[in-house]
Amino acid sequence: MTETAVGSKSEQAYAAVKARIVEGTYTPGYRLVLAKIAEDLGVSVVPVREAIRRLEAEGLVKFERNVGATVSGIDPTEYLYTMQTLSIIEGAATALSAPLIDSVAIARARAVNAEMRDCLEHFDPVRFTALNQDFHSVLFEHCPNPHMLDLVHRGWNRLASIRASTFRFVPGRAQESVKEHEALLQLIESNADADTIEQAARRHRSATLDAYLAQAKSI
Amino acid sequence: MTETAVGSKSEQAYAAVKARIVEGTYTPGYRLVLAKIAEDLGVSVVPVREAIRRLEAEGLVKFERNVGATVSGIDPTEYLYTMQTLSIIEGAATALSAPLIDSVAIARARAVNAEMRDCLEHFDPVRFTALNQDFHSVLFEHCPNPHMLDLVHRGWNRLASIRASTFRFVPGRAQESVKEHEALLQLIESNADADTIEQAARRHRSATLDAYLAQAKSI
DNA sequence: GAGTACGAAATCGTATACGATAACTATGGC
DNA sequence: GCCATAGTTATCGTATACGATTTCGTACTC
């Protein structure tokens, strides 16, 4: 979405494989055979190889010498690491964005959050997840530090491949989440100081992580 | 240093080019011609190309289609972005590490800091910088989250290429820095809570950034 | 029947080759 | 003397080819 899909074949391969991972066509553990992907995309193996390496650098695939590439795993430990890191960076990005968020964006976020509430009533976890991403995007999209923003996006991409294959509602957590969203919006509207916003955003994510881990442990 | 130097030629090229950038042989803006590097290393262009792309993903080089690769720039804006992000991640990593740092490591860090003080007296900025990295490594090396640790290392690498070509003491800042190091160690020794340590570590970095920017503006 | 060793197939890793694109240079017109 | 344009060179981008490594299956031995 944010990437230039066309251009070099390498870019093309990168975008195509990434999309398949993020949307869940290639599930974790899936074996990425260079020659096969190359044939599918109608290109040779060299650009595919390059694309795979880029995805490796982003943590979406694991590449083993003389063995091949597989879509990165989803074990709870990995999820913990990613979420913990993301909570910290996203918290900071949100705090940096906050002063730059105008009332139009706030209204948009509030509308998204209302839709999320609907999803809870109609039990639509897939849409809920998509909206959740939209909501948070509004919060951090004005972050003036592009590096930080890039890291946030990478984190979301990693989580996307996880969610696409394992998502389910953690009991009660989604309801909490929607409430916390509203609280966050009010903090931003009232021009709360950066530390307060950062802590709130971070705790919001950490709570989701804790809920997931508690459930993962109980299975 | 932390990378497997040998193995595939791609790895080899990656390590070689990275080393040259970090140590300052290839200064920012330096034009990386694939064929030339390939010849220097005695390999073909394909693995070199792959290495360059990996370095691009880490932000050490910039790659323009049909134009070529150059070592990433060092303008104050870029420095700001990197340092700001690093201060946040490193602060968190240090806080997570703190409970795991034993007295031996503390003593080691204190010795390093003493040496840094010496460097100030004998005016040895190069060594000072190297020791500074050592000091901080002790603080965050026990971070239990490998993703976070990886991001910290990447940040340091980016800064290394900057420092190697532009380093000079910011008046008074280095002295401040050494004092803050000692304060950090005392916080860790006294088992201060995670938030306190995180804030202190972050402010320590931010102060360095501010000092640099103030100087950069005045030139 | 289980384990080991050998061989075949699959896949990766890299070199070479050639087409495509952009930067540079020189030449001609004004 | 300066600008525009065509031709040249340098460099990148990708396809193809082949050697290297691993993995899997099969046969042989104990």
- Residue range B160-171, pLDDT digits in tens: 876 655 556 677
Interatomic CA–C1' length for residue A33 and nucleotide C21, angstroms: 30
Residues with Cβ within 8 Å of B47's Cβ and at least 6 positions away in sequence, in order, are: B8, B9, B10, B12, B13, B38
pLDDT digits (tens, 9 = 90+) for A121-167: 998 888 888 899 999 999 999 999 999 999 999 999 888 876 655 55
- Tell me, yes or no, if A89 comes closer than 8 A to chain B by beta carbon: yes
Examine the fold and report which residue of B71, B99, B125 is the final residue of a domain before the chain moves on.
B71
Measured CA to CA, the distance from residue B160 to residue B167 in angstroms comes to 10
**Of B63, B119, B101, nearest in space to B201 by CA:** B101
Q: What is the pLDDT, as a whole number, of residue B5? A: 41
- Tell me the chain A residues in contact with residue B81 when contact means C-beta distances shorter than 8 Å: 145-148
Residue A13 in any domain: the answer is: yes
Inter-chain CB proximity A53 and B54 less than 8 Å: yes
Q: How far is CA A70 from CA A16, A60, B206, in A?
A: 15, 9, 39
Residues (63-82, chain B) with CB within 7 Å of strand D atoms:
65-69
- Are residues A108 and A203 part of one domain? yes
Q: State residue B41's pLDDT score.
A: 93
Q: Residue B101 has what DSSP assignment?
A: -
pTM of the model: 0.86
Out of B71, B97, B121, a domain closes at B71
Q: Which nucleotides of D are covered by protein (CB under 7 A)?
A: 10-17, 20-23
Which pLDDT value is given to residue A3? 40
- Domain range holding A24? 9-71
Give CA torsion, residues A197, A202, A203, A209, to 10 deg: 160
Query: Do B83 and B169 fall within a single domain?
Result: yes
CATH number of the domain that residue A173 is part of = 1.20.120.530
Q: Spell out residues with C-beta < 7 A from strand C.
A: A 32-36, 45-46, 49, 65-69; B 8-10, 38, 42-47, 50, 65-67
B151 to A151: CB separation less than 8 angstroms, yes or no: yes
Whether A195 shows a pLDDT value over 90: the answer reads yes
Same domain? B85 vs B57: no
Q: Which of B47, B71, B95 is the last residue of a domain?
A: B71
Contact assignment for B148 to A85 by CB distance below 8 Å: yes
Which residues in 113-152 of chain B line strand D, with CB less than 7 A from it? none
A67/B184 Cα distance (integer angstroms): 45
B199 and B92 in a common domain: yes
CA distance A58 to A52: 10
Per-residue pLDDT tens digits for B124-170: 888 888 899 999 999 999 999 999 999 999 999 888 876 655 556 67
Report which residue type is found at B62.
Answer: K
Output the domain CATH number for residue B55. 1.10.10.10
Rounded to two decimals, the ipTM of the complex is 0.83
Nearest-angstrom CA–CA distance, A46 and A49: 5
Strands B61-64 and A31-32: unpaired
Residue A187 domain-assigned (yes or no): yes
Chain B 46-65, CB below 8 Å of chain A: which residues?
Answer: 46, 49-50, 53-54, 57-59, 65
What is the pLDDT at residue B1? 38
Number of domains in chain B: 2
Are residues A56 and A143 both part of a single domain?
A: no
